[in-house]
Amino acid sequence: MGRKKDKVDFKKIFHGVKKTWPYARKYKKYLVLYFIMMIFLIVISVSVPLLSAKLLLNITDGLLDKVLIVSAMIFILEINRNIFDYFSRKMSELFYFNVLNDIQIDLANETLKLDIREIDAHSSGVFIDRLSKDATNMADVFDMFVYYLMNILENIGVLGAIFIVDRTLFIYTVVVLLILFGFEKLRISTWYRYSKEVRKLDEKNSGLIAELVRGIRDIKVLNSTQDFMTKIMSRVREANIQRYRINTVLRRYNFLTGSLKDLSDVLFIVLGVYLVMNNKLTIDNFVVIYMYQSRTYGLLNALTNLAEQTKHFTLAADRVFEIIDGDFKKEVFGKVHLDKVYGNFEFKNVSFAYNEGSFVLKNLSFKIKANETVAFVGKSGGGKTTIFNLIDRLYKTDSGEILIDGVNVNELDKASIRDNISIITQSPYIFNFTIKENLKITKTEATDEEIMEVCKIARLHDYIMSLPDGYDTLIGEGGLNLSGGQRQRLAIARALLKKTEIILFDEATSALDNETQREIQEAINNMKGEYTILIIAHRLSTVINSDRILLIDDGQVVAEGTHGELMKSSNMYKHLYETELI
């Protein structure tokens, strides 16, 4: 069973290295130079102990002139060791950081392609850990393999020197190394089993800590510090208990292998003395072998470290490639590209459920003409926001069709949808960038004049100019340095800068004061007739001037018309209006 498992692991390692190689290929010159320098370091490492042994013998024999010559040779070798070590480290770092950079960029890009349901189903810790820890362990693989391979070859050279001098001590050294390696292999297998569980727990902890940082203001306001800390302490304790189990196992193995090494050293000296006393080994050769013997543990360390780092790599590669090309489902778009989007919409018998069997939309049908302003109203939970999520293809319908300019959204490419639709939500996410950087997310090449123009429309320009750093002001994570209304106005400016044909307002003015809300409404009214504007509204002032109003209830359109028409024809709409629920 054990052998079969090792064979599977070997295949996984080879598969992981093969998939990681494209990231390393363009930087292989650094790897080659590193390899060449490591060869020189091996030669020096094998030579210095031999010269050191001769130095000791020359000192013992009083051959002072030879002592100076050998000392000079050792000095020259050590200086060269330092030079090669410096440049080998430089090549290693250039290789490592370039590969890490490419892996993290690719991983971040693939994370952004994930189906939104995958994001909903996992905590942020799943993606944070893979972007940081696992990407780092993956980038290490080639540098690690070369380093430990060179280390192994270096120490095999040491074993070869012992073999040439005395076969008996060579056999003894090999047997000791095999015994110690067997124990180390057991230690690594045990560590790997526990480590997989720790990684899962760390993902949960990373997600919880991210929630703590993002929600720290609400935690304080809700006075939920104790409840949140109880949850954190429980998660952290669970992970640390698992770590303690790992360390307990490692401690026991380290104690065992350390004791075996000490015993083997004593027995090595006893065996050497026995061979010298029986004229089977000369004293000078025994001194040479003794100088080499301590170096043979380097072979053991290199083999065990290679095995341990390989486990790290295999685990990390599995987790990273799950996102890049594995188990995590990606967004899938069609291939039809619309050179120009006019903004005609049609829902044909659309049904959708976030959770299986619990439908939010039920055979929903309606049409919207290009450049029409249409409002969606109704009770909370009726499916209004879901309509916007489906239009922008954040989610895919379970049945029915959504058409944009007569083409099914499932057939359209990403650019045709996302480049032509802007959504302004009730709670927009503001990035921890400057104001200008937040705006340029939608249009990198936007000029300062364009940025100022949309901020004036969103009634945000005057506030920005009152700040010491103006548009270069750092907003803070989640836009914490802005009020709720200012965050929404920034989101509105961001969407306007994108200049899409279709603009969706998902209760986008709900956090604004009455005066600002009126100003934004004027801006929306000024856009009427030029854009297709869809509005989910809570405030009456955002819907009464719409071309049409669709009343949504229980995932269906139950009434439609102008404000005046609905006040006459729909008791539900009239009730919502009178109780100011819209």
Q: What's the CATH number where 313 sits?
A: 1.20.1560.10
Structure tokens, 430: 């503001």
Asked if residues 51 and 44 have their Cβ atoms less than 8 Å apart, the reply is: no
Distance CA 536, CA 383 (A): 10
Query: What does each C-alpha distance from 86 to 46, 144, 173 come to in angstroms?
Result: 19, 17, 32
Is 6 domain-assigned? Answer: no
DSSP character at residue 280: S
pLDDT, one tens digit for every residue, the chain (582 residues):
343 444 445 677 777 778 888 888 888 898 889 888 888 887 887 777 677 767 777 777 777 788 888 888 888 988 998 898 889 888 888 888 888 888 888 888 888 888 888 777 776 667 777 777 777 777 777 777 777 777 777 677 677 777 777 888 888 888 888 888 788 777 777 776 777 677 677 766 766 676 666 666 566 655 667 776 777 777 777 777 777 777 777 788 778 888 888 888 888 889 888 888 888 888 777 877 777 777 777 777 777 777 777 777 877 778 788 788 767 788 889 999 998 888 899 999 999 998 877 899 999 999 999 999 999 988 888 888 899 999 989 899 999 999 999 999 999 998 899 888 888 887 777 887 889 988 888 888 889 999 998 888 888 898 899 988 899 988 876 666 777 778 888 888 888 888 888 888 887 666 666 776 776 677 677 677 778 989 887 766 667 888 999 999 888 999 999 988 998 999 888 888 877 644
The confidence score (pLDDT) of residue 123 equals 66
Cβ count within 10 A of residue 201: 18
428 inside domain: yes
Sheet with strand 502-506: strands edge to edge = 421-424, 502-506, 532-536, 373-377, 548-553, 556-561
Q: Are residues 353 and 287 in the same domain?
A: no
CB 337 within 8 A of CB 415: yes
Q: Do 396 and 319 share a structural domain?
A: no
| Rounded Cα distance, 308 and 192, in Å | 8
pTM assigned to the model: 0.66
1 belongs to a structural domain: no
User: What total of structural domains would you count in the chain?
Assistant: 2
How far apart CA 574 and CA 576 sit, in angstroms, is: 5
Instruction: Report CA-CA distances (Å) from 39 to 84, 86, 157, 309.
Output: 10, 14, 12, 22
Pairing of strands 358-368, 345-355: antiparallel
Cβ neighbours around 465 below 10 Å, total: 11
b/e string for 530-548 if b means 16 or more Cβ within 10 A? Answer: ebbbbbbbebeebbbebeb
What long-range pairs does 378-383 form, CB within 8 A, spacing at least 24? 378/551, 378/552, 378/553, 378/576, 378/582, 379/553, 379/576, 379/581, 382/552, 382/553, 382/554, 382/555, 383/352, 383/552, 383/554, 383/555
**Domain boundary residue among 325, 353, 380?**
325
164 and 251, same domain (yes or no): yes
* One domain, residues 377 and 465: yes
Q: Which two tokens stand for residue 348?
A: 């044909």
- The letter for the amino acid at 521 is Q
| Residue at 290: amino acid letter | Y
Asked whether residue 312 falls in the same domain as residue 452, the answer is no
Q: How many residues does the chain have?
A: 582
Is 9 inside any structural domain?
no
Q: Is residue 334 part of a domain?
A: no
294 and 177 within one domain: yes
Q: Identify the CA nearest to 100 among candidates 316, 254, 285.
A: 316
Task: Clarify whether residues 313 and 273 are in a common domain.
Answer: yes
The answer to whether 280 and 169 are in contact (CB under 8 A) is: no
The amino acid at residue 426 is: Q
* pLDDT of the residue at 540: 62
Q: Whose structure tokens read 């380290």?
A: 254
Whether 499 is covered by a domain: the verdict is: yes
pLDDT at 376: 92
How many of the other CB atoms lie within 10 Å of CB of 327?
10
Residue 229 and residue 91 share a domain: yes
The helix/strand/coil state of 432 is coil
Supply 464's token pair. 């920005």
User: Are residues 95 and 211 both part of a single domain?
Assistant: yes
Same domain, 410 and 485: yes
CA gap 335, 504 in Å, rounded? 24
| Cα-based angle 245, 249, 252 (whole degrees, multiple of 5) | 140
Q: Which of 325, 358, 373 is where one domain is finished?
A: 325
Q: What is the SS3 assignment for 70?
A: helix
Contacts of 37 (CB under 8 A, 6+ apart): 84, 87, 88, 91
Q: Is 502 exposed, middle or buried (0-12, 13-18, 19+ CB in 10 A)?
A: buried
Query: Distances from the Cα of 358 to the Cαs of 183, 354, 389, 440, 528, in angstroms?
Result: 55, 7, 17, 39, 36
Token readout for 461 is: 């320009």
Q: Do both 433 and 529 map to the same domain?
A: yes
pLDDT (0 to 100) of residue 1:
37
Are residue 395 and residue 426 in the same domain, yes or no? yes
Closest by CA to 421, choosing from 321, 366, 495, is 495
∠ CA 263-264-265, nearest 5°, is 90
For residue 2, what pLDDT is reported?
Answer: 40
Residue 313 lies in a domain: yes
Q: Which of 273, 294, 325 is the endpoint of a domain?
A: 325
What is the CATH classification number for the domain harbouring 571? 3.40.50.300
- Which H or E run includes 74? helix 64-112
Residue range of the domain that includes 489: 345-578
- Does 219 reside within a domain? yes
Residue with tokens 């949140």: 228
Residue type, 212: L
Residues paired with residue 503 on neighbouring β-strands, in sequence order: 422, 533
